[in-house]
Structure 1
Amino acid sequence: MAIVKPFKAVRATRDKVAMVSSKSYEIYTPEMLYSKLAFNPFTFLHVVNPGYKYHKQDITEELRFKLVHNRYLEFKENNVFQKDSLPAFYIYEKITPTNTFCGIIAAVSVEDYHNNVIKKHEGTLKKRELLFENYLKNTGFNAEPVLLTYPDNDEITAIIKKYKQQRAEYEFSTTDKDLHLLWVVNDANDIEKITEAFKDVETLYIADGHHRSTSSCLLAQRLARENSNHTGEEDYNFFMSYLLPESNLKIYEFNRFIKDLNGLTADEFLIELDTFFRIENRKQELYKPKEKHHFSMYLNGEFYALYLRKSIYNFTDALSKLDAQILYSTVLKPILGIEDIRNDSKIVYSQDKSDSLELKTKVDAGDFKVSFGMLPTNINELKEIVDSDLLMPPKTTYIEPKLRSALTIYEF
């Protein structure tokens, strides 16, 4: 039973939301960031990049978090942000040139995270967990929802459909040609229907935002210890999420680029691969896998198709069936000497849906010796691994939608 509740969002006024909301701070290059800050006084990037106001970018973590809080207060004082008077769910639809996503922004329970009702598929780094916990504690808000997915539910879908027939509270386009719409659900009957419908959902799966989830839970534990009157109903016991039905989630693969062959020549490397793979040299023909356990490889100016020898490879559990894990356990670790696939500088990951020749172009440029591609992981594989209490290797999934910052803000 998933606990999903409405909350009073802090959000931009309708006339300014297109200028306020932004992509995640980490996406912008320094040049892009400077341009946004210089020419848009309303962008939320001014809040999360507070040193710009004082022409000072090199500031301590503690001072930065304090200034973020101050810039946030200024946006509220200037009525750029206003807090809703009633708790609400927020139906958010993002329409891109290729996909349409529609789900519900809501508050979910940290207890559900601890009780494994909300499940994760990736590991997290303790350093990043603590950094974001400290950020939340000092700023007092979260502006990016965690992306959760749930099994398709007819009742929830019907409510969403009902509101989409009405005029949206927000409707704006961005320069990347995406259309964003948001409807406010503050009717008591509809709130109850949504709340009750999610009680029938046994499991919510984290699609994106593992560190934000964990950090929110760490903060809740910290604030509970500091609050002698803790009841469990305080806002810090919940965190903001965007709940999307499984059928609407889009999962893409990451390509892998390796900087050296671990002392092997190209011919020696191919001989090593022959143990676990049937190898076909496709020459200059672009090869992209069409089945699980098939891999594309680009080496020395030529494409190769690698087909796993299933009579040799031992499938032991859900993780061992995952293509990213197969590549790691048969190639990256034993042949190329890459033990720590999260931190080893020899491996680089890239997701570029617009460039089908990426495996070739990046190797031909000279920075890498070999590259690998595979089919994307599907939602059933993800769920099987999670339900088996296993974790995927890093950079197994690139999941959309990617959400905007400051469309709705959760305070605690």
Structure 2
Amino acid sequence: MAVVRPFKSIRPTKELVSKVAALPYDVMNTEEAREMVKGNPYSFLHVDKAQIDLPAETNQYDEIVYNTARKTLDKMREDGTYIQDNAPSMYIYRQIMDGRVQTGIVGCTSIDDYMNDIIKKHEHTRAEKEQDRINHVDHCNANTGPIFLTYKNVGEIDEIVASWTAKEPEYNFVSEDRISHIVWVINDTETVKRLEELFKSVKYLYIADGHHRAASAVKVGKMRREANPSYTGEEEFNFFLSVIFPADDLYVMDYNRVVKDLNGNSSEEFLNKVSEKFTVEEYKREGQYRPEGKGYFGMYLDNKWYKLTAIDGTYDSKDPVKSLDVSILQENLLRPILAIEDPRTSDRIDFVGGIRGLKELERRVAEGMKVAFSMNPTSIEELMNIADAGEVMPPKSTWFEPKLRSGIFVHELS
């Protein structure tokens, strides 16, 4: 039984929402963020990545960064950039990218559901990244970036969404990457109550993206509970900001790999070793090879594309983790042939999100990498199966597009 409840969102005015809305803080580095906000004092990156307004030598984890974030958020509320809804509401957030539509419910989910595994995870988190967002959330007294959740479709929720999205939206703008962002405010008490009831019929919610933000929000909630031992469980710090999409709406892109060297092998030696676990065919058609299904991989080496097909018996098709394409490549090629034991820590491998296209793999090889691999995307069903089994996915298994924009909704903790 999932808890999803309304909240009084702090959100931009209609006139400024397109300038405020920003990509998540963790998809760019500080220098890139500085460039992105030039000429735009309203960008939410001034809150989410506040070091961009401090001297270049400032440590991004220094307390002055979090204090600056809070001051900037307070200023945006004081100067009228932000308003706050008078009554608890839910919201509908629709994104349209290249004609494909995903539409989610914006509400607050429970830290208890996270701790009790009603909200399912599929990734490990890193302590230093968690601590950064713990500090940010605690200083700002707010969840500033939404958690991207998904669930197995519920027909009546779909019907409510369809009826509300026939109305005039509150926001409707196109961001610089040509993605449409449309928001409706569900401020009807009966509809909100019905949505709360319907989500109680949902057995599990699944984190699609935002594991560090979720873990940090939960830890801040626990800190607030310890500081307020008479808490009732209804306080806002017991909940965190989420956008919850039906699984059928979501699109997972490929997450490709590039490697610096062949681990001492010549190209011929490397191809011979690869052929022990994969059938290797030179791809004769024009353009890049995009894998057509599970067990297929593209490989770009010496200005040629190859089609790799995993040989039967190289993986356990019944194991939800071992049967992932990212696992098949790791266990049958990257580790045994290229000696990449841990892709999270190796400096010989890099990852390229599918949004950049397969030509980016050719470019990276031309600039010095030795070999590239194009991947078949991990499916939502595979993600859910792994989460249900209590397992974790290998690193860099999923790339979701479009990215949720930060700054459209802010959830105040007290």
TM-score under structure 2 length normalisation: 0.94
Residue 166 in structure 1 maps to residue 171 in structure 2: no
* Paired position in structure 2 for 1:82: 83
The count of aligned residue pairs is 411
Tell me the equivalent position of 1:135. 136
Number of the residue aligned with 1:231: 232
- Which range is displaced more, 245-254 or 74-83? 74-83
User: Which amino acid in 2 is paired with 1:42?
Assistant: Y
CA deviations over 1:269-305 (Å, ceiling 9, x no partner): 1121122112212357532221211111111222211
CA distance in structure 1 between the partners assigned to 2:128 and 2:193 by the alignment: 39
Q: Is this contact kept in 1: 2:30–2:51, CA < 8 A?
A: no
Moved more, 389-398 or 287-296: 287-296
Q: Distance in 2 between matches of 1:36 and 1:175?
A: 10
User: For the residues of structure 2 that align with 1:47 and 1:319, how far apart are their CA atoms?
Assistant: 37
Any conservation in 1 of the 2:10–2:85 contact (CA below 8 Å)? yes
Shift in Å, 1:206: 0.5
Find the counterpart in structure 1 of residue 211 from structure 2.
210
Deviates more, 1:386-395 or 1:56-65: 56-65
Q: Secondary structure at the match of 2:283?
A: strand
Q: Does structure 2 conserve the Cα–Cα contact (< 8 Å) formed by 1:256 and 1:348?
A: yes
| Residue pairs, 1:2-401, within 5 angstroms | 2-28=2-28, 33-50=33-50, 58=58, 61-282=62-283, 285=286, 286-315=288-317, 317-353=319-355, 355-363=357-365, 365-401=366-402
Would the aligned equivalents of 1:281 and 1:302 in 2 still touch at CA under 8 Å? yes
Partner of 2:280, secondary structure, is: strand
Q: 1:110 touches 1:237 (CA, 8 Å); kept in 2?
A: yes
What displacement does 1:123 show?
1.4
Consecutive unaligned residues of structure 1, counting only runs of 5 or more, are none
Report deviation, 1:399: 1.2
Q: 310-319 or 108-117, which moves further after superposition?
A: 310-319
Counterpart CA distance in 1 for 2:52 and 2:350 is: 31
Per the alignment, in what secondary structure is the counterpart of residue 240 of structure 1? strand
Report the more deviating stretch, 83-92 or 311-320: 311-320
Counterpart residue identity of residue 404, structure 1: R
Asked whether the equivalents of residues 255 and 351 of structure 2 are also in contact (C-alpha less than 8 Å), the reply is yes
Matched-pair contact (CA < 8 Å) for 1:169–1:182: yes
Per-residue Cα deviation, 1:290-339 (whole angstroms, up to 9, x for no partner): 12111111112222111111135444611111110011111111111111
Among all aligned residue pairs of Structure 1 and Structure 2, give the percentage whose two residues are the same amino acid: 36
Q: What's the TM-score, normalizing by structure 1? A: 0.94
Structure 1's 282 and 398: CA in aligned 2 closer, same or farther, altered over 3 A? same
Amino acid at match of 1:223: R
C-alpha offsets along residues 208-259 of structure 1, whole Å, 9 cap, x if unaligned? 1010111111111111111122222211111100000001001011110000
Larger mean Cα displacement after TM superposition, 134-143 or 320-329: 134-143
Q: Pick which of 312-321 and 76-85 moved more.
A: 312-321
| 1:55–1:375 distance in 2 versus 1, CA, 3 Å | closer
Contact 1:352 1:358 (8 Å CA) reproduced: no
Question: 2 CA distance for matches of 1:224 and 1:161?
Answer: 38
C-alpha distance in 2 between matches for 1:2 and 1:307: 41
Report SS of the residue matched to 1:193: helix
The residue type paired with residue 45 of structure 1 is L
Superposed CA deviations along residues 138-159 of structure 1, whole A, max 9, x for unmatched, are 1211221101001111111111
Report the Cα offset of residue 58 of structure 1: 1.9
| CA distance 1:35–1:392, change in 2 (3 Å) | closer
Mapped contact 1:106–1:240 kept (Cα < 8 A): yes
CA displacement, residues 359-401 of structure 1 (integer Å, 9 cap, x when unaligned): 33321x1411111112111111111111111111111110123
Q: In structure 1, how many angstroms separate the alpha carbons of the residues matched to 2:326 and 2:36?
A: 37
Letter of the 2:225 counterpart = A
Residues of 2 paired with 1:70 and 1:150: CA distance?
Answer: 36
Indicate the SS of the match to 1:319. coil
Instruction: Report how far residue 75 of structure 1 moved.
Output: 1.0
Q: Counterparts of 1:265 and 1:56 in 2: how far apart (Å)?
A: 43
